[in-house]
Amino acid sequence: MSLHRFVRDIRSCRVSVRRSQIASTAAIYAMLTPTFGLLAVFSLVPFVWAFVTSFFDYEVGGESRFVGLANYTEYLHDPTLLSSFGNLLFLTAFGLAVVMTAPLIVAKLIFSLKSERARYLYRVLFLIPIVVPGVAGMMIWQGMIYNDTGLLNETLRLFGRDDLTRGWLSDPRTVLWAVVFMGFPFAGGINILIYYAGLAGISESIHEAAELDGARGLMKFFKIDVPLVMSQIKLLTILTVIGTVQGFEGMFILTKGGPGFRTMVPGLWMYMNAFSFQRMGYACAIGVILFLLILSLTVLNMRYFRSSEELTAEAI
Amino acid sequence: MVIVLGLAAWALWPRQAVHVGGAAQELRSSNPRKYTIRIAPGIYMPGRRPQDLGKPLQGFADVATEFEKRYPDTRIEFTEAPVGNREYLITQLAAKQAPDIINVNVGDVWQDVQKGWYVAFDKYLDQPNPFIPKGDPGSAHWWDQFKYQAISHSKTAPDGKMYCITYDMVETGIFYNKTMFKRLGLDIPRDWFEFIQLQQKLKAAGIVPFLADKSAIADWGLDLVFNQLYGSIIPGIKLKKDKAREAHLGGFFDWDELAYLNQKGYFTRRDPRYVQVFRILKAWRSYFEKDMSSDDLTKMFVTQKGAMYWTGSWEVNRLVRDPDVGFDWGLFYLPPIPRSFNRFADGHDQCVIGGSGTQFEVTNSAFDDTNNPETSEKLKRTIAFIQFLTIPKNVDHIVNEILCFLPNVVGAAPKPELIPFDRILQRNFANTKWLYTFDLRFDEILRRMLDLYLNDGISEREFMDWMETNVQTGCDTIVRRKQIDLSKFDARWNELAPLRAGYKELPSER
Amino acid sequence: MRHRGGQILLHAILIGILSLTLAPFVFVINNSLRSNSEMNHAFFGLPKLGHDLFSGYRYAWEVLRPYTLNTILVCVVTGLGVVFVGSVSAYVFSRCRFKGKDSLFLAVLAFMMIPGVLTLVPSFLWVKQLGLLNSHWVLILPYMAGGQVFAIFLFKSFFDGLPGELFESAKMDGAGHFRLYWSVVLPLSKSVVAVVAIVNILGTWNNFLWPFITNSDAKYHVISSGLFLMNQSNVSSNYATMFAAYVLASIPLLILFLYATKPFMQGVTSGAFKA
C-alpha cells in the first residue's frame, strides 16, 4: 500500500516536473517574443530587402534589373574605394586611440582627487556635452572655429601668421585632421563615467599589494589600473568601431566627403548612391559589405581582446 | 521637481495652434472644405522674412485668400516642407506624401520624370488661362504669358514634356563696390584683359579682388568660359536643329550631341580648347578668396574685405535692405575673352542660361482624390490655382514683395533695382549647362575634382584623367539609360565637315 | 598623489580640460543673444545690450514648442518600452538554459551591426506598407527594435553578475521565470534601468533623419528634425536664431539630466558596462 502510494507520488511528481518544465520553456519563449517580434518586423525585413536589392540594379520608384554580383564587383573598381577605406582606417585608428586615452586619463585624474564632492562635481560637469544635440556641436566647430573668420584663423592672424590661415575644412591637406580633431579634448560624455566605474571597481587590496611591491605613480597606473579596466576598454572599443565604420552623418554635415574625395567614407558614398544618384542596388551592395566588415571586426575583438576577468585570473 | 513639472506643463500645453502665415491665415474659415491644396512656396512663404530682412511676407497669403473666395470648396495650405533636400523629396514622392505644388530645380525633376511623380502642363499651356481677360497675353494660350520664353521653354524635360511653370527669373551678376572702385581709381573692365589687370591692382591693395563660391565657378564659370572658347566653332559641330527651340536657344547642346562629340574626341585632353577652359579658370582662381568653400562671402563683401562678388539677383534684397551696407554698389557682367588673351576666344557677349528662382511643379499628390489625373477634381483646382498665380497682378504682388527675382510674366514689371538683370537676360545664352546635362553623379565628380584642381589638390594630369573618365561615364550612362542611337548624327556630321575644315586645332578624330 | 600640491595640480589640469570641453557651448549661448550684424563685424564679443536680446529665442520657441511634446512622448515611451523588453530578454539569456541560446544571442547582437543607412529606404517603404507613416508609432516601434539590443547587452552583463542564491530560494518556492524576473531581478536593477532609459532617451532625442522622412506632417515633428528643417530653410543664415534653437533643444535634456545624474552614475558603476 505504501509502495502504491510511493509510485503514485513519484508519477505525479514526474508529471508535475514535466509540466513545470513545459511551462518554463513556454514562459521562456513567451518572454522572448517581444524582442524577436520587434527585431523581425523592424530590423530583419528591411535588412533582407536591402540584401536582396544588392543583387539588382534598382532606382527608387523605377524598374529593377537583376545583375547578380555586378554591384559588388563594381564597387571593387569604384574610384572612391581606396580613399573611403583608407579614411575609415584612419578615423577608426584615431577614434580608438582617443577613446582609449583621453577619457581614461581624465577619469584617473578625477579618481585621484581627495574630495568626494569634487569628484562628483567634475563627473557631472563633464557630462554636460551629451545634452547638446550632436549637430550643434559640429556646427560650432564648422562655423566658429574652422571657418575663415573663426577662432583658428583669427588666432593665427593675431600672431601675425596670416600665411598659415586657410579654410581648414576645404583644404585637402588639412581636412581629415580637422575632422578628427573636432571634439577636442575628447573628454565630454559618458566615457569618463564608464572608466571611472571601472577604476572604482578595483579593490583597495590590489592597490596596497602593488604599493608593497614598490610600484608607484605612473608605473602603478599602467600595470594595475589599465589591465583591470580592460573590460571597459574592450566595450568602448567595440562601440567605437561599430560607430565609426557605420557612421557618416558627421561627414555628411561637415564636408560631404570633400574636398574631392578626401574625407569620403563608405557610409556616405552609400548614402549618396542611394539618394542622389538613384543607384539603390549599388548602395545596398556597399551596405552589405560594410555589415560584413563590422561583423568580422567585432568577432575578432571579442575573441582576442582579453577581458579584465581573464587578466585577473592570469595574474593570480 | 514639482515646480519644474508645473513650468513644463504651462509651457508645453497645446495651445490653439497659430498657423503660419499670420493674419491672412487666421482669417481662413474653420469650416471644413472639401479639397486642400498643399503648396511649398519656398522663399515666398507667408509669415517668414527672407534673409531676415524686411517685414514678414504677406503676398502669397493674400493671393491664396482671393483664390479661396472663388473656390469655396478649396483650401490652400502652406508648408515649409524641405523639398530641396533630395532624400526627403524622393521618399515623399514615392509615398505620394509630398505637397501638391512644390518648387524644385529642373535637375531634380528631369531625373525622375519616368516615374509618374509629376504632372505635365503641356495640355494646359496650349489652352487659354481662364483668369486672363480677353485680348491680354494668355487669353489664347497660357504659354503666351511668359516673358522669358527661351528659359521657360528650356525647362522641357527629356521626354519632351513641360513639368515646370517658370514663375520668376534669377540671373547672376557681378556686384562691385562702387565706392571702393572710385577710391582706387578703377573702372568696370570691358574685356578679360582689363578684368585681370583690375584684379591684380586690387590684390596689390590688399583686398580680395573677386569673391566667388566654388559652386558659382563650377556652374556659371565653367559654362561661360567654355562658351567663350567654343563659340567660334559651334556652326561646325552643332548637330541638331530643333526648330521649336532654335528661336530661343540657338546653339544649345543636348546630352546626345555632347555624347556624340565626346566619341569624336571632344572634351578630352586631346581637345585643346577643353584643356584651355580649365587653365583659364585655374589662373583666375588666384584672385579669389582663400577658402572657396567659405560661407562668409556675403559677410566679406558687406564688410568691404572683397571688392567684387559674383552671385545672383537675390543678393539685391540684402544689399538694399541691410542697414550695415555702408557703400555704393553696382552691377556688371563677366567680360568677354578677346582673341588677344586666348587664341580660341572670339570675344562675344553672353550670359548663363539663368534659371528661375522659382518654378512650380505639381506632384502626384495633387490627384490623390481619385488617383487618376484624368478624373481628379482636386487636380483641376490645383492647376487653376497655378493659373491664378500667373495673373500679372498676382505675380507682381508676390514676386515684387522681395527684391530677389524678376517676374516671368508679361505685364508684371521687375523692381527698379533689378532692372540691370533684365538687361543681362537679353544677351545670348551660353550653349551648355554642364551641371544639368548628365546625372547627379557626374555633377558630384565634376564639382569635387574641379575644386581640388583649382586649389592645387591634384595636378592637371590627374584632373584631366578624372574629367575624361567622368565625361565618358556620363555619356555612356545616359546613352544606355535613354537608349539613344548616336549613329543618327553621322549624316549631319559629315555634312558639316567642310565647315570644320576651316577651323584650327580640333581634336583629331579617333 | 595625495599631497596638497598634487591636488592643486590635478584641479588645474582638470579645470583646463573642462573649459576646453565646455567652451564651444558657452560660445553658443553667448552668440544666441547677439544679432547677425554684430556677428558679422566681430565674431567674438559680448552681446550688445539695447536691442532685442531674445528675438532668436522667441522665434525658435515658436517653432520648437509643438515639437517638444512629441519628442518627449516618443522618447519616454521608447525608453520605457526598451527597458521592459530589453530586461525581459536579457533575463532569459542570462538566467535560463535552452537550446540555441548562444546563437540566438549572437544573432541579436548582430543586428547592432547593420549600418543604419542600409536599411533607411527599405524601412521607409516597409512602414509605409504597414500604414504607420505620420504617427508616433513609426518612431517608437523601430526605435524600440533598435534600442533594445544595447539594452539587452547591458542588462545581461548586469544579470550575469547577480549571485545564484537569489534565484535558488525563489525557485524553491516554485516561481516560474516570469515571477523570477518580476519580483527578484527587476527590483535589484533600478540603477541599470536608469542608465538604459537615459542612454536610450539620449539616442532617440537627437535622431533626426528617420523622423524627418517618415513624419512629414508637422503635427508629428520632433525637435531634431525641426532643427534640421530650420537649418535648411531661410533662417539658417541667422545664427542667433539657430543657436537659440540649439540651446532650447538642449534644455529638456538638461532638466532630465539634473534629476537623473545620480541614478545614472550609480548604474554605470554597477558593473554592467563591460564586455
CA angle A305, A308, A312 (to 5 degrees): 125
- Considering only the beta carbons, identify the residue of C1, C18, C249 that sits closest to A112: C1
pLDDT confidence tier of residue B21, bands split at 50, 70 and 90: very low
pLDDT tens digit sequence for A138-148:
777 877 778 77
- Helices (H), ranges, B162-242: 178-184, 192-204, 214-216, 222-230, 234-237
Three-state SS at A281? helix
Give the pLDDT confidence score for residue B371 in this predicted structure.
86
Alpha helices in B103-221 (DSSP H): 106-111, 122-125, 149-154, 178-184, 192-204, 214-216
Q: pLDDT > 90: what percent of chain B? A: 30
Subunits in contact with chain B (3 or more CB pairs closer than 8 Å)? A, C
Inspect the interface and report whether the beta carbons of B457 and A262 lie closer than 8 Å.
yes
Residues 194 through 253 of chain A touching chain B, CB cutoff 8 Å: none
Q: What percent of chain B has pLDDT over 70?
A: 91
Domain hosting A243: range is: 71-315
Q: Please indicate, yes or no, if residue A54 is contained in any of the structural domains.
A: no
- Specify the pLDDT at position B20: 36
Round to whole Å and give the CA distance between B218 and B288.
14
The bridge status of strand A56-58 relative to strand B168-169 is unpaired
Question: Measured between alpha carbons, how far is C64 from C57 in angstroms, rounded to an integer?
Answer: 10
Q: Which residues does B contribute to its contact with C (CB < 8 Å)?
A: 1, 4, 8, 11-12, 14, 17-18, 43, 45, 48, 50-52, 79-82, 84-85, 87-88, 91-92, 94-95, 97-98, 299, 302-303, 322-324
Site from B44, B88, B103 to mutate, C interface, most C CB atoms within 10 angstroms: B88
CA angle C166, C167, C172 (to 5 degrees): 115
Rounded to the nearest 10 degrees, how much is the dihedral formed by the CA atoms of B174, B178, B180, B181?
80
- Residue C33 CA to residue C28 CA, distance in Å, equals 9
Dist. CA B138–CA B140, nearest whole Å:
5
pLDDT band (50, 70, 90) for residue A16: low
CA–CA distance, B311 with B296 (Å, rounded to integer): 13
Q: What is the pLDDT of residue C2?
A: 53
**d(Cα B473, Cα B79) in Å, to the nearest integer?**
39
Q: What is the pLDDT of residue B29?
A: 42
Give the up-direction half-sphere exposure of residue B131: CA atoms within 13 A in the CB hemisphere.
18
Q: Rounded mean pLDDT of A267-273?
A: 87
A259: nearest CB among B294, B452, B469: B452
The reported pTM is 0.80
Of the candidates C110, C2, B236, the residue with the CA atom closest to the CA atom of residue A112: C2
pLDDT for B79 equals 85
**What are C57-90's pLDDT values in tens digits?**
777 787 788 888 888 888 889 988 888 888 888 8
Can you tell me whether residue B510 is helix, strand or coil? coil
Question: Is residue C185 pLDDT above 80, yes or no?
Answer: no
Q: How far is CA C104 from CA A13, C101, C149, in A?
A: 32, 5, 12
CA angle A138, A141, A143 (to 5 degrees): 100
Counting the structural domains of chain A, the total is 1
Can you say whether the dihedral through the CA atoms of B405, B410, B412, B414 is positive or negative?
positive
Long-range contacts of C29-38 (CB under 8 A, 24+ apart): C29/C243, C29/C247, C31/A144, C31/C239, C31/C240, C31/C243, C32/C56, C32/C57, C32/C240, C32/C243, C32/C244, C32/C246, C32/C247, C33/C240, C34/C240, C35/C240, C36/B52, C36/C237, C36/C238, C36/C239, C36/C240, C37/B322, C37/B323, C37/B324
Residue B22: predicted pLDDT: 31
Residue numbers in A near B289 (CB within 8 A): 148
C245: distance to nearest CA of chain A, Å? 9
Chain A CB contacts of B299 below 8 Å: 149
Question: What would the grid cell of residue C111 be?
Answer: 543586428
Percentage, residues of chain C above pLDDT 90: 0
Q: Which residue has the higher pLDDT, A81 or C273?
A: A81
CATH number for domain B20-147+358-403, candidates 3.40.190, 3.30.460, 1.10.3470, 2.30.170: 3.40.190
CA distance A8 to chain C (A): 21
pLDDT of residue B250: 67
Pick from A147, A258, A259: CB nearest B294? A147
Contact B1 C259 (CB under 8 A): yes
Q: Is residue A58 part of a domain?
A: no
CATH 3.40.190.10 domain position(s) in chain B: 172-354+429-501
Residue A14, number of CB atoms within 10 A of its CB: 10
pLDDT confidence tier of residue B28, bands split at 50, 70 and 90:
very low
Residues of C in contact with B11 (CB under 8 A): 65
Q: Give B363's strand partners.
A: B118
C-alpha cell at A276: 542622389
Does the interface predicted TM-score (ipTM) exceed 0.85?
A: no
Cα Rg of chain C, angstroms: 23
pLDDT tens digits, one per residue of B400-452: 998 889 899 988 888 888 888 888 887 777 888 888 788 888 988 999 999 98
* pLDDT interval class at A7 (50, 70, 90): low
What is the predicted pLDDT for the residue at B381?
A: 92
Per-residue pLDDT at B39 exceeds 80: yes
CATH code of A262's domain: 1.10.3720.10
The residue ranges of every structural domain in chain C are 64-272
Query: C touches which chains (3+ CB pairs under 8 A)?
Result: A, B
A232: contact with C, CB 8 A cutoff? yes
Q: Which pairing describes strands B172-177 and B329-332: parallel, antiparallel, or unpaired?
A: antiparallel
User: CA-CA distance, B415 to A316, in Å (whole number)?
Assistant: 86
Q: What average pLDDT does range C99-121 have in this prediction?
A: 79
pLDDT of A155: 81
Taking 80 as the threshold, does the pLDDT of residue B14 lie above it?
no
Check pLDDT > 50 for residue C117. yes
Instruction: Give the per-residue pLDDT at B26.
Output: 34
Task: Check: CB of residue B453 under 8 Å from CB of residue B460.
Answer: yes
**Phi and psi for B271 in degrees, rounded to 5?**
-100, 100
CB atoms B303 and C218 under 8 Å: no
Does A140 contact C at CB distance below 8 Å? yes
Q: What's the confidence (pLDDT) of residue C229? A: 72
Paired residues of B168 in beta bridges: B407
How does residue C255 score in pLDDT terms, banded at 50, 70 and 90? confident
Give me the helix-helix angle, A81-111 and A191-200, nearest 10°. Answer: 50
Q: What is the pLDDT of residue A12?
A: 61
Report which of C107, C94, C21, C104 is spatially closest to residue C272, judged by C-alpha positions.
Answer: C94
pLDDT band at A21 (very low <50, low <70, confident <90, very high): low
pLDDT tens per residue, range A172-196: 888 888 888 887 777 777 788 888 8
Beta-carbon contacts of A120 under 8 Å, excluding residues fewer than 6 positions away, are none
Q: Which three cell numbers stand for residue C244?
A: 537659440
- Residue B171: what pLDDT? 86
The top-level CATH class assigned to B172-354+429-501 is alpha beta
State residue B389's pLDDT score. Answer: 92
pLDDT of residue A17: 62
Three-state SS at A33: helix
Helix (H, G, I), strand (E, B) or coil at A95: helix
Segment B88-115, tens digit of pLDDT: 888 788 778 889 999 988 877 877 887 8
The answer on pLDDT for B81 being more than 70 is: yes
Question: What is the Cα Rg of chain B in Å?
Answer: 25
Tell me, letter by letter, the H, E, C secondary structure of B323-365.
CCCCCCEEEECCCCCCCCCCCCCCCCCCECCCCECCEEEEEHH
User: Chain C: residue nearest B88 by CA?
Assistant: C213
Neighbours of C14 (CB within 10 A): 19
Question: What is the C-alpha radius of gyration for chain A, rounded to an integer number of angstroms?
Answer: 27
pLDDT band at C151 (very low <50, low <70, confident <90, very high): confident
Under CATH, which architecture does the C64-272 domain have? Orthogonal Bundle (1.10)
More confident residue, C133 or C38: C133
Using a CB–CB cutoff of 8 Å, tell me whether A185 touches chain C.
yes
CA distance B114 to B130: 30
With 50 as the cut, is the pLDDT of residue B3 above it?
A: yes
**Among B388, B121, B406, B353, residue whose Cα is nearest residue B224:** B353
What pLDDT does A306 receive? 52
pLDDT for position B468:
92
Least confident of A66-75, A125-134, B230-239: A125-134
What's the pLDDT score for residue A255? 83
Of A28, A133, A245, the CB nearest to C249: A133
CB atoms within 10 A of CB B481: 12
User: Is the model's pLDDT at B396 over the cut of 70?
Assistant: yes
Interface test with C, best of B80, B297, B322 (most C CBs within 10 A): B80
Higher pLDDT, A151 or B268: B268
Which residues of chain B neighbour C260 with C-beta distances below 8 Å? none
Residue A21 lies in a domain: no
- How much is the mean pLDDT over chain B? 84
